[in-house]
Structure 1
Amino acid sequence: MFELLQSNWSTFLTGFGHTILSSIIALAASLALGTIFALLEVSENKPLRIIASVYIEIFRNIPLLVVTMVFYLVVPMYVVKIDGFTAGTIGLSLYTSAFIAETIRAGINSVGDGQMEGARSNGMTYVQAMRYVILPQAFKAALPPLGNQFINLIKNSSVLSFVAGFDLMYQADTVAFSTYQVIPTYIITGIFYLILTMPLSYYMKHLEKTMKQ
């Protein structure tokens, strides 16, 4: 197995780099989108709530692979040409953002109504109260499930392998089919994913304990 890794080191490293890059972009994008749609879900404006609910239900109930294929096949055909990496990252971002939106919405709902009323009575606008009072508490409450979503995002990044995104799984398939060493190849691939997910898991647990103090 070590010889396999050594002889295909650059291939694995390339895939590892693409997986990291896609995960970072998707994490930032899905967190931003998820926060926006969570805020729309709890908005006092009914049309905005409907828009947010439709968005979330669509992307929560369509498989990630289908979302990715739409951006890989349909969008280039009718809108603009994009490569597999971009299509996979966009699909991953939109798909994950729906779950993050629900997580943050639950966090917002866990904050007592008196917090908003108190902030508004002190002269804050709705936006200011949400930004400075409600959201910090909501993120604190939602931290454990958010951590799970981030870890799932990294694992789900393997969807890029279906659209030639040159991620870790795509490169692993290349090595496996060229060397016929299937089991060692995917063991190595699993170790690379653990290198990404395990530190994040421990960090999120540490952050959760720190915020409880």
Structure 2
Amino acid sequence: MTKKWFHCFIRESDREVPSSCPSTLLNAFLVALFILLIFIFSFSRLEYDFHWAGVWAYRVKFVRGLGMTLVLSFFSLIVSFLLGALFALGQKSRFLPFYFFSRFYVEIIRGTPLLVQILVFFYVIADAFHVQNRYVTGVMILSLFAGAYISEIIRAGIDSIGETQLETARSLGLTRFQQYRFIIFPQVFKRIIPPLAGQLVSLIKDSSLLSIISVSEFTLNAQEVNAYTYSTLESYLPLAVGYLLITYPISSLSKKLERTFSYET
């Protein structure tokens, strides 16, 4: 009996789904029911009287904020991928100034909180270069932040390529550019897709911090609705649900891609 339940709880790999365990739908239902009961119990203890009518009047504001979050995240992902690819190559570069600048950029971004970066970039750098558009500034900040992590993802993907393959390529007379084009990049792209999808989820959630510089995205709009209606829970519950509706499909896709593109080491 113990072995059977241990087999149900602990899988040998992500590809394996034990047939002797309860169905996936039943498990999902039980988990959802448990979470729902926790919320029902919590709200019953609070004795909170919900007033959804006031918040419903601002439903268009929620939709616009959600749309702006998606737009900001989309453009930030594109720019951050380009930056990540550039600085990943910089970390492999033989040109020392480019190498050290790439390392400095990655360590600075990864070593400081995003909130601090937003404040410094907006009130110092953007102001010094007279960048007035808050949305452009927001995309630049998110791109620089995510670019450092994407750079590490790509660099790790490059490092995962076996040295034997590169030695074989060199013995065949392939140039360094040809090695990257025909051997490294095709394999790296397949291996970095799952973590890139995970990075997109983080990027969407991190965009909520742009509300501190008054970028009219999902979180700021929810805060404004709360200020108009004095309905705190009614304003922030749709916010939580909205982020979940965006990130959960991407997170599920990330898991699926991870299983699809998994490889044995």
Name the TM-score, length of structure 1 as normaliser: 0.91
* CA distance in structure 1 between the partners assigned to 2:80 and 2:165 by the alignment: 27
Relative CO higher for 1 or 2, CA cutoff 8 Å, sep ≥ 6? Answer: 1
* CA distance in structure 1 between the partners assigned to 2:82 and 2:173 by the alignment: 27
Decide which structure has the larger Cα Rg and report it.
2
Of residues 250, 253, 259, the one that matches 1:200 is 250
Q: Which structure has greater helix proportion?
A: 1
Superposed CA RMSD in Å reads: 1.9
* CA distance in structure 1 between the partners assigned to 2:132 and 2:121 by the alignment: 8
* CA distance in structure 2 between the partners assigned to 1:167 and 1:146 by the alignment: 23
> For structure 1, which runs of at least 5 residues remain unmatched after alignment?
none
> For structure 2, which runs of at least 5 residues remain unmatched after alignment?
1-50
Query: Percent identity over the alignment?
Result: 37
Of residues 54, 69, 78, the one that matches 2:119 is 69
Contact 1:27 1:93 in 2 (8 A): yes
* CA distance in structure 1 between the partners assigned to 2:215 and 2:174 by the alignment: 46
The answer to whether structure 1 residue 140 and structure 2 residue 190 are counterparts is yes
Of residues 75, 79, 94, the one that matches 1:29 is 79
Kindly tell me: are residues 182 and 141 of structure 1, through their superposed partners in 2, closer, same or farther at Cα, counting changes over 3 Å?
A: same
* CA distance in structure 2 between the partners assigned to 1:76 and 1:207 by the alignment: 37
Contact 1:68 1:90 in 2 (8 A): no
Which range is displaced more, 83-92 or 155-164?
83-92
Aligned with 1:81: secondary structure?
A: coil
* CA distance in structure 2 between the partners assigned to 1:31 and 1:119 by the alignment: 27
Contact 2:55 2:229 in 1 (8 A): no
Q: CA deviation at 1:201?
A: 0.9
What is the number of equivalent residue pairs in this alignment?
Answer: 213
Q: Which residue of 1 aligns with 2:103?
A: 53
* CA distance in structure 2 between the partners assigned to 1:2 and 1:104 by the alignment: 46
Kindly tell me: are residues 172 and 106 of structure 1, through their superposed partners in 2, closer, same or farther at Cα, counting changes over 3 Å?
A: same
Q: CA deviation at 1:148?
A: 2.2
Q: Which residue of 1 aligns with 2:235?
A: 185
Name the TM-score, length of structure 2 as normaliser: 0.74
Alpha-carbon displacement from aligned partner over 1:16-43 (angstroms, at most 9, x marks no partner): 1110011001111111111111111122
